[in-house]
Amino acid sequence: MSRRYFGTDGVRGAYGGPVVNDDFAARLGQAVGKWLNRGGSGAGAEAAEVRGSGRESTSAEGRVLIGRDTRGSGVALAAAVARGLRAAGVAPVSLGVVPTPAVALAVQREAARAGAVITASHNPAADNGIKFFGAGGVKLSDDDELAIETLLDDAPLPPGDALLEGISGAAEAYVAQVGALLPPRSLAGWRIVLDTANGSTCGTSPAVLRGLGADVIGLGDTPDGCNINAGVGSEFPEPLAARVRAEGARVGIAHDGDGDRCVLCDEAGGVLDGDEILTILAVEALARGRLAGNLLVTTVQSNLGVEAAVAAAGGRVLRTPVGDRYVIARMLAEGANLGGESSGHIVCTDVAPTGDGLVAALRILEVMQRTGQRLSELRRVLRKFPQRAVALPVVGKPPLESLRELAAAREGIVRELGAGGRVLVRYSGTEAKLRLLVEGPTDAVVAAALERLQAAVRRDGLWR
């Protein structure tokens, strides 16, 4: 049974559309509350009194912590989710504007029942979404989301007001916890360009870096409710690269709108994606005997060069479907402490239960300090296979096996590439897009193969 509303990372779409609207958010909050009271997310006996009485629990275990990014629609959606939770007898508490990883850490730190983040991550400001953390700050599984959707189908619109009480200090606690990863004043003399995407890290990431002594030059740090990810952030690293070169900075750091991604820029203006960050961290950890199980967990999207580099250093790579929650689930199952995605989701489970763009950046800065190498030197550890990818806007999402032209083209390309390459075809879990990726022996071979796939998609009538 497939999920109807949840995608790769929560529920996401245009605000005011058929799914992401205030009424749906209230019904979703109510469904999550009912799921929690039935034992979801590890909730157990402590919820019994709440279930029996219809009262809200006032203990830490009875609360659901709600954070949001800087989108203007976030206030109304957060209030709507809270209204639904209250209707189910669960106590919602607002953390205000905080990064997604700060919510996960708060759930873990305070032993809350769950967490919710109102965000559409790297999507434009017109979109919004809702994603959830269960007990311990871990993202929900597919089965969890299916169970919630079952309760949502018949959920009436919950009554109540739209007020949401909050608590202060979540951002400060996050800054203190993450800032302790490096020694005090260890970044004194470092000039760093920081792009916070006009999102939820505008206050936290600069505070951590400046607290460590860095000279921080800000980009994308004036959120107005409508400019999140607007030409800045991890999806648009070009302004970061230009500013690093202009300022003579040692490194550039870019987050997405909710702060769970990291893209870096070296001192020469070269942009590093998640694959390069993961490879640097994995090879360094292997050299120091600190990569648990000698294992890096990444997704099918990551470049084949990652496997080659990690294997050469004495480690191994396991792949999961695209989505950082699948990476995290595999990491927990395998006892791994490092994983992530080429998009810049980097998960260090010895620090946080979910992807954290600032933690990833600090880990790289730590490697730079310890080795004395510039980022342009460290990145040489990964030699990428030629790769090209494209995301095509599509008119629907029919089963891939029903697209005969695409299936035939893919089969032919896979046969021609053999062991020297691969083809990945999948729908986006958060947008109406078909993602195509080809790796092969030369850029010319890869480019030609990608053109063949796109032509096949057009013949199937899916992309125009």
Find the mean pLDDT for residues 170-198.
97
* Residue 36: both structure tokens together: 């929690």
Q: Which pLDDT value is given to residue 162?
A: 56
Judged against a pLDDT cut of 90, whether residue 16 lies above it is answered with: yes
Query: In whole angstroms, what is the distance from residue 403 CA to residue 409 CA?
Result: 10
pLDDT of residue 1: 60
Nearest alpha carbon to residue 132 among 146, 116, 145, 151: 116
Nearest one of 387, 391, 388 to 462, comparing CA atoms: 391
Q: Give per-residue burial for 100-121: e unless 16+ CB within 10 Å, then b.
A: bbbbbbbbbbbebbbbbbbbbb
How does residue 57 score in pLDDT terms, banded at 50, 70 and 90?
very low
User: Rounded distance, CA 138 to CA 135, Å?
Assistant: 6
Higher pLDDT, 61 or 433: 433
Concatenated DSSP letters of 237-267: -HHHHHHHHHHT-SEEEE--TTS-B-EEE-T
| Model pLDDT for residues 222-233, shown as the tens digit of each residue | 999 999 999 999
- In this prediction, residue 407 has a pLDDT band, given cuts at 50, 70 and 90, of very high
**What are the φ and ψ backbone dihedral angles of 241, each rounded to 5 degrees?**
-60, -45
**Which residues, 6+ apart, have CB-to-CB distance to 411 below 8 Å?**
none
Q: CB-based contacts of 44: which residues, under 8 Å, 6+ apart?
A: none
* Three-state SS at 90: coil
Give 346's strand partners: 340
Q: What is the pLDDT of residue 190?
A: 98
Q: For tokens 């300022």, what's the residue?
A: 247
% of the chain at pLDDT higher than 90:
86
CA distance 424 to 243: 34
Residue 2: the pLDDT is 77
| 89 has pLDDT over 60 | yes
Angle, alpha carbons 249-250-253 (nearest 5°): 85
Dihedral sign for Cα atoms in the order 289, 292, 293, 297: negative
User: In this structure, how many other beta carbons lie within 10 angstroms of the beta carbon of residue 128?
Assistant: 29
Distance, first Cα to last Cα, the chain: 30
Mean pLDDT of all residues in 115-136: 96
pLDDT of residue 83: 94
In which band, very low, low, confident or very high, does the pLDDT at 296 lie, cut at 50, 70 and 90? very high
Domains of the chain: 11-168 (3.40.120.10), 179-271 (3.40.120.10), 272-358+377-381 (3.40.120.10), 387-459 (3.30.310.50)
Residue 161 banded pLDDT, cuts 50, 70, 90? low
Residue 183, burial from CB neighbour count under 10 angstroms (0-12, 13-18, 19+): exposed
- Mean pLDDT score of the chain: 92
Q: Is the pLDDT of residue 152 over 50?
A: yes
157: confidence class by pLDDT, cuts 50, 70, 90: confident
Taking the C-alpha atoms of residue 127 and residue 131, their distance in angstroms, rounded to an integer, is 14
Active site amino acids: 121
Strands (E), 46-156: 63-68, 91-97, 114-118, 127-133
Q: Where are the beta strands (DSSP E) in 112-269?
A: 114-118, 127-133, 191-195, 215-219, 251-254, 263-265
Judge contact between 399 and 410, C-beta under 8 A: no
Q: What is the mean pLDDT of residues 216-222?
A: 98
Kindly state the average pLDDT of the residues 110-133.
Answer: 96
pLDDT for 323 beyond 60: yes
Helix (H) or strand (E) holding 211: helix 204-211
pLDDT of residue 222: 98
Distance from C-alpha of 53 to C-alpha of 35, rounded to nearest angstrom: 16
Q: What is the pLDDT of residue 284?
A: 98
For the whole model, what pTM was predicted?
Answer: 0.88
DSSP lists the bridge partners of residue 219 as: 195
Cβ–Cβ under 8 Å, residues 395 and 454 = no
Instruction: Render pLDDT for 326-372 as a digit per residue (tens, 0 to 9).
Output: 999 999 999 999 999 999 999 999 999 999 999 999 999 999 999 99
Angle in degrees, 0-180, between the axes of helices 304-312 and 274-287, rounded to the nearest 10: 10
Supply the pLDDT for residue 156. 76
**Cross-sheet strand order for the sheet of 114-118:** 11-14, 127-133, 114-118, 63-68, 91-97
List the single range of 52-61, 382-391, 451-460 with lowest mean pLDDT: 52-61
Give residue for tokens 């125009």. Answer: 464
What does 378-417 look like in DSSP terms, one character per residue? HGGG--PPPEEEEEEE-S----GGG-HHHHHHHHHHHHHH
pLDDT at position 55 over 70: no
C-alpha span between 49 and 62 (Å, rounded): 10
pLDDT (0 to 100) of residue 163: 60
